Amino acid sequence: MKMKLLMGSLLALGMLTTANAATATANFNVNAQVIAACAISSTPADINFGNYDPSAPNNIVSSTTFGMRCTKNVSYDITIDTASGTARTMTDGTDSLTYVLKNGASVWGELNSGDQVTGMSTSAAEVSYTIDAEVSANQSVGAGSYTQTNTITITY
């Protein structure tokens, strides 16, 4: 009994030491595969030339913007294709009203035209592009509502 009392007192006072605990360790890796990707992050508004007067002497211009994001260090080409695969012509029945799309002074071409916009992403931040549009003056067309659908394609 005295021994139990003595050991209990020594434990309470911290005078007895216990054996060190053994340890075991293991390593593990954390992995991720980063893929090359691009996406249109903000879609362009429709381009509306408003009222077109075929007898007016000046071209009509308008523009819109869109944003895109790519994985860092991804090269890309941007083309704008017409849904019909034809030239840039808005139609109303059998009449056609031609126009051009530009990126600054350069014509923005369709896929495989050689007039695409090229770039290299330097970060994952959004990059904005402006699409300038122009309808030439003095086109011989009838009154009506002319339209054509275009598609932005990013190839990376």
Section 57-81 average pLDDT: 95
Please state whether the predicted TM-score (pTM) of the whole model is above 0.85: no
Confidence of residue 95 (pLDDT cuts 50, 70, 90): very high
Are the CB atoms for 42 and 126 separated by under 8 Å? yes
Section 15-29 average pLDDT: 82
Q: 100 versus 17: which is more confidently predicted? A: 100
Residue ranges and CATH numbers for the domains of the chain are 38-155 (2.60.40.1090)
Is 80 a residue whose pLDDT tops 60? Answer: yes
